[in-house]
Amino acid sequence: MNKKVATGVAHDTQGYTDGTPAGASYDGTSNRARWSVGAGADLDLVSDTRAFADGALVHVAAFFKGGADQPNYVKLRLYVDGVQEAESGFLNYDLDGSNITYIYVLLAYKAMSGSKTSKLSAHNYDTATRYVGTAMGADSNYQPAAVVQMSSKPG
């Protein structure tokens, strides 16, 4: 019987961008940071801009570790070049990272050309302001709460 053997495809991982959006507040009592998300609005968590050869096939991966101050209101949205490509379920309650650790992953795969930007945002479906939060390191430096990465097969 002939067996098909999967062969790996080398991809040029072009680095990644992690970040913490402006406006983080630290409550000083525990290792946590949080950001407010306006009612019905998006909060941009992190973005990544890279240039691609004409017609490159690009993987986009976004990660978020953390939670929201209340369950059932905030979802993550992955935008690639101004077009939404994925949305998560609601973030669970985990504002300080001490309850249960949740990691959310959103993915997209597209043909692109030229300089493109991907971004991971938190969207608040509630009519009141909500908060998203993440744990901080022991030295009180922000951990990479959100990461978005674009990579393509070398041309």
Q: Which residues contact 1 (CB under 8 A, 6 or more apart)?
A: none
Q: Is 136 exposed, middle or buried (0-12, 13-18, 19+ CB in 10 A)?
A: buried
**Can you read off the two tokens belonging to residue 77?**
């949205």
Minimum distance from CB of 78 to another protein (Å)?
9
Q: Which is nearer to another protein, 22 or 100 (CB)?
A: 100
Minimum distance from CB of 106 to another protein (Å)?
7
Minimum distance from CB of 33 to another protein (Å)?
18
Residues 86, 106 contacting (CB under 8 angstroms): yes
Q: Which residues contact 36 (CB under 8 A, 6 or more apart)?
A: 23, 43, 129, 130, 131
Q: Which is nearer to another protein, 51 or 107 (CB)?
A: 107
In the complex, the residues that contact another protein under the rule CB under 8 A are: 38-41, 54-55, 57, 70-72, 75, 77, 79, 81-90, 92-93, 99-100, 102, 106-108, 110-113, 117, 119, 125
Q: Which is nearer to another protein, 2 or 51 (CB)?
A: 51
Minimum distance from CB of 21 to another protein (Å)?
15
Q: Which is nearer to another protein, 14 or 70 (CB)?
A: 70
CA-CA distances (angstroms) from residue 125 to 12, 78, 122, 141, 154? 37, 16, 10, 29, 39
